[in-house]
């Protein structure tokens, strides 16, 4: 048997406290939540009668849950796309060695330091559409004064959901080829979510910019020089040199932004509430209502586990990828 070296012993001892704490307070509670989600616990006093996946099955029959899942997917896709594109564009612009770069960098980055609650309240005021009867408010009023009334929108009060209606030609075609299940509002796009995306992007795109900017600064000038010598134009440099080198940054940004958007709660609560016919509702909000207003702890736990799985689907491949890379190094 090999003698454990003293260094190794010390390092194990040092790591034990945090392992225990994380084990109990993170994984222990995740486990407990998972267990609670399979019980009948729907009142103050826990009732740990085991019911299996009944709570999950019930969830998928609840209108509000399906709507909020759709909204989350809508929000995540749009938010990621908007942040990545805007962040990259801002970073590329700042990378041109413009004057006052530090000032711009700070301006773009500042919103990140604000709480989502503040962002939500401010954007609620800005995007509050006013009424058709009494006149516009917020940005709608601005559009009106600028002589651009056609830009006015109902923002987050718009209950419109865009989806393939079963009665349309496309809907009937899908139905004929056995894809009729797509033709429901649960697989659609909630227009009101755009307002949330605007607010969230305003807050987080500066952060994405900072990540990209760091990435761009790490690209050696020699590579660009070489490409120029070979006759590449600026766009080709971007497409064939910068973007591939920025791929790890993009991946990190997707993970960080993705898990924020899947779990989003504070922004929605302060900005829009559940919205008309739950047009801006999200699972985290529904979970909170179910658990603390309805006292239905088992069902709340089931929503929590589904959220966890959604985030895990996003994060686990990333962790495996980085682990593999570290192993290669």
What is the closest distance, in whole angstroms, from the C-beta atom of residue 3 to another protein in the complex? Answer: 17
Tell me if 266 sits within 8 A of 124, measured CB to CB: no
CB of 15 to another protein, least distance (A): 11
Got the DSSP string for 105-153?
HHHHHGGGGS-HHHHHHHHHHHH--EETTTEE-HHHHHHHHTT-GGG--
Closer by beta carbon to another protein, 64 or else 263: 64
Which residue, 258 or 275, has its beta carbon nearer to another protein?
A: 275
Residues within the interface to another protein (CB under 8 A): 6, 10, 13-14, 17, 42-45, 63-64, 124, 128-134, 154-157, 159, 272-279, 289-296
- Please, what is the minimum distance in Å from the beta carbon of residue 183 to another protein? 17
Whole-number Cα distances in Å, 68 to 34, 120, 178, 307: 21, 18, 26, 11
> What's the closest the beta carbon of residue 43 comes to another protein, in angstroms?
6
A 10 A CB-CB count for 191 gives: 19
User: Residue 130 Cβ, how far from another protein at the closest point, in Å?
Assistant: 6
Report the residue number, 192 or 210, with the smaller CB distance to another protein: 192
Please identify, using beta-carbon distances, which residue of 41 and 108 lies nearer to another protein. 41
Angle at CA of residue 58, ends 191 and 68, nearest 5°: 15
Q: What is the nearest approach in angstroms of another protein to the Cβ of residue 157?
A: 5
Spatial separation of the C-alpha atoms in residues 153 and 143, rounded to whole Å: 10
Nearer to another protein, 11 or 236 (CB): 11
Helix, strand, coil percent values for the chain (each to nearest 5): 70, 5, 25
Q: Which is nearer to another protein, 96 or 133 (CB)?
A: 133
Place of tokens 């006292």: 295
- Contact, 249 vs 212, CB < 8 A? yes
State the minimum distance, in angstroms, from the CB of residue 156 to another protein.
6
Dump strand ranges (E) for 159-252. Answer: 161-162, 189-190
How remote is the C-alpha of 81 from its chain's centroid?
10
């Amino acid at each position: 048997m090999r003698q454990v070296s003293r260094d190794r012993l010390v390092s194990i001892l040092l790591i034990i406290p945090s392992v225990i704490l994380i084990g109990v307070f993170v994984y222990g509670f995740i486990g407990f939540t998972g267990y609670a989600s399979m019980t009948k616990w729907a009142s103050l006093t826990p009732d740990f009668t085991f019911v299996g996946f009944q709570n999950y099955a019930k969830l998928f029959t609840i209108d509000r849950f399906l709507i909020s899942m759709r909204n989350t997917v809508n929000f995540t896709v749009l938010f990621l796309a908007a942040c990545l594109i805007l962040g990259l564009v801002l970073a590329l612009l700042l990378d041109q060695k413009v004057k006052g770069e530090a000032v711009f960098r700070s301006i773009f980055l500042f919103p990140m330091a604000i709480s989502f609650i503040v962002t939500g309240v401010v954007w609620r005021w800005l995007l509050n559409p006013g009424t058709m009867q009494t006149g516009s408010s917020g940005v709608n009023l601005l559009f009106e004064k600028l002589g651009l009334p056609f830009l006015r929108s109902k923002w987050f009060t718009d209950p419109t959901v865009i989806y393939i209606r079963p009665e349309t030609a496309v809907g009937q075609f899908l139905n004929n080829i056995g894809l009729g299940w797509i033709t429901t509002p649960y697989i659609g796009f909630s227009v009101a979510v755009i307002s949330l995306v605007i607010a969230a992007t305003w807050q987080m795109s500066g952060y994405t910019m900072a990540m990209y900017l760091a990435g761009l600064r790490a690209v050696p000038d020699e590579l660009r020089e070489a490409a120029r010598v070979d006759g590449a134009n600026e766009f080709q440099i971007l497409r064939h040199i910068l973007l591939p080198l920025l791929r790890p940054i993009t991946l990190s940004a997707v993970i960080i932004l993705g898990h924020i958007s899947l779990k989003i709660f504070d922004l929605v609560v302060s900005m829009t509430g559940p919205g008309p016919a739950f047009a801006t509702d999200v699972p985290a909000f529904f979970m909170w209502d179910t658990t603390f207003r309805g006292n239905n702890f088992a069902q709340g736990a089931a929503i929590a586990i589904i959220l966890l799985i959604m985030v895990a689907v996003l994060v686990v491949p990333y962790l495996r990828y980085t682990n593999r890379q570290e192993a290669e190094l």
